[in-house]
Amino acid sequence: MTRARILIVGGGFAGVECARRLERALSPQRARIALVAPFSYQLYMPLLPQVASGVLTPQSVAVSLRRGLRHTRVIPGGSIGVDTDAKVCVIRKITDEIIDERYDYLVLAPGSVTRTFDIPGLSEHALGMKTLAEAAYLRDHVIAQLDLADAATDPAERASRLRFIVVGGGYAGTETAACLQRITVAAARRYPRLDARLIKWHIVDVAPKLMPELGDKLGSDALRILRDRGIEVSLGVSVARVEPEQVTLTDGRTLPCRTLVWTAGVTASPLLATLGAETVRGRLSVTSRLTVPGADGVFALGDAAAVPDLDKGEGAVCPPTAQHAQRQGRTAADNVAASLRGTALRSYVHKDLGLVVDLGGRDAVSRPLGLQLTGMPAQAVARGYHLMALRTNVAKVRTVTNWLLNAAAGDDYVRTGFQSRRPATLRDFEYTDAYLTRDQVRARTRSAAGGA
């Protein structure tokens, strides 16, 4: 019996969950499973703000791909193009070697990249918060601003170094600002020439509400908590220009600032453009069974796919969250196995478990199964959810240990310096310029076919 070649692109929630379930459903004699991932870990992104603030170590949120995957071949690299007619995926390995990987079934879960706009100075000066490297870099950068502000003799320089602007009032931006504001204010006690009142954190979002997914009450509660802690929140406002030492907002204000963190949403991986398939706001249009129409043997899920939300109906699609990605991974695996066996595929249907937002310390807002919570009860739910979602016991133990250590011993304000000379642009950290065009992919696969 010929073994089916199953290729999974992406080592995030959706891709890893799909691989794990396929290993249980199909024997190695029935299928050869390969997973393409640029890093040797699955990143638990919801806890990145706690890495940036130093509450958690990077290892706590970087779960090894080798734990839980028994016979899946892991290809260290990223897919840079797909030819669905030839059933070939073009992969750039971490050595920059480019290879062609043939497949019978392709599961696309390449995730997303930070969404940017044509704002002067944004690409040159903004910092991201989507990768582990960006979180580590941001921590070093923020502490460096405190060090430099303490040593500064010019009041204008000190003011610009002590103002931090976070663009994006969603979960990532709000949690990043909340966690880092808490640590910088606490750190001021260790600096003889810094006054905590001089440290300014500012959330900017073009939307009229902060985290509208929370609903009016919890959204208002979160806004009140942030403002009570001294975090300025400007809604209905965006960034007009970013310069090395100041940021201009669309309402005309020019603020001294040397740190702008950009978390204003995500867009699907540039890989999807190489397929030439129909998209919905940049995400692949898929059926409720996660299949890509017109592409034989191709499934798409997670941030890469506009998966119909059958629970809401009326053309709604599932939001790009970890909760959906994990569940879609299981559904995709079941449907790939069903395709091999010639049985019926099932639709993706879900029940929302709720939302959690950790604002650092004892501050949080949560809505588990519709119940609205704030304060310590919300914090307990938020941390319980994160522990449940972490895939391995090792990661759970590391995370709990870090939380306990931080609660007992407090924060440290150490710059590692490991990335002090690395480029800090979104493009450098997220490799958005590494992809081929659709024509380049087709020319490559046609040339390879002709040579064969």
Q: In sequence order, what DSSP letters do the residues of 259-327 get, joined into one string?
A: EEEE-S-EEE-GGGGGTT--EETTEEE--TTSB-TTSTTEEE-GGGEE-B-TTT-TT-B--S-HHHHHH
Statement to judge: residues 437 and 304 lie in one domain:
yes
Statement to judge: residues 407 and 296 lie in one domain:
no
Statement to judge: residues 172 and 321 lie in one domain:
no
Contact 267, 115 (CB under 8 A): yes
Which of 171, 213, 215, 162 is closest to 191 using CA atoms?
Answer: 162
Statement to judge: residues 253 and 165 lie in one domain:
yes
CATH number of the domain that residue 364 is part of: 3.50.50.100
Helix, strand, coil: what percent of the chain each, to 5?
40, 25, 35
Statement to judge: residues 347 and 276 lie in one domain:
yes
Asked if residue 52 is part of any domain, the answer here is no
Statement to judge: residues 438 and 342 lie in one domain:
yes
Asked if residue 58 is part of any domain, the answer here is no
Asked if residue 205 is part of any domain, the answer here is yes
Q: Which helix (H) or strand (E) holds 418?
A: none
Q: CB neighbours of 132 closer than 8 A, spacing ≥ 6? A: 39, 41, 43, 48, 51, 58, 61, 62
Statement to judge: residues 278 and 359 lie in one domain:
no
Residue 438, Cβ density class (10 Å: 0-12 exposed, 13-18 middle, ≥19 buried): middle
pLDDT value of residue 419: 65
User: With left for phi above 0 and alpha for psi between -120 and 50, is residue 152 left, alpha or beta?
Assistant: beta
CATH number of the domain that residue 439 is part of: 3.50.50.60
CA angle, 394 then 131 then 111, to 5° = 95
Statement to judge: residues 291 and 224 lie in one domain:
no
Asked if residue 77 is part of any domain, the answer here is yes
pLDDT value of residue 93: 96
pLDDT value of residue 312: 83
Q: CB neighbours of 219 closer than 8 A, spacing ≥ 6? A: 209, 210, 211, 212
Asked if residue 72 is part of any domain, the answer here is yes
Domain count, the chain: 2
279-280: strand order across its sheet = 279-280, 283-285, 305-306
- And the tokens for 409? 């011993």
Statement to judge: residues 311 and 274 lie in one domain:
yes
Asked if residue 80 is part of any domain, the answer here is yes
pLDDT value of residue 266: 85
Q: Which helix (H) or strand (E) holds 223?
A: helix 216-228
Statement to judge: residues 339 and 363 lie in one domain:
no
Statement to judge: residues 100 and 169 lie in one domain:
no
pTM reported for the whole predicted model: 0.92
pLDDT value of residue 250: 97
Asked if residue 445 is part of any domain, the answer here is yes
pLDDT value of residue 443: 87
Contact 188, 196 (CB under 8 A): yes
Statement to judge: residues 136 and 228 lie in one domain:
yes
15 is in which domain, residue-wise? 4-46+63-114+267-352+432-451
Asked if residue 40 is part of any domain, the answer here is yes
CA distance 452 to 450: 5
Weakly modelled stretches of the chain, pLDDT under 70:
1, 418-425, 427, 449-452
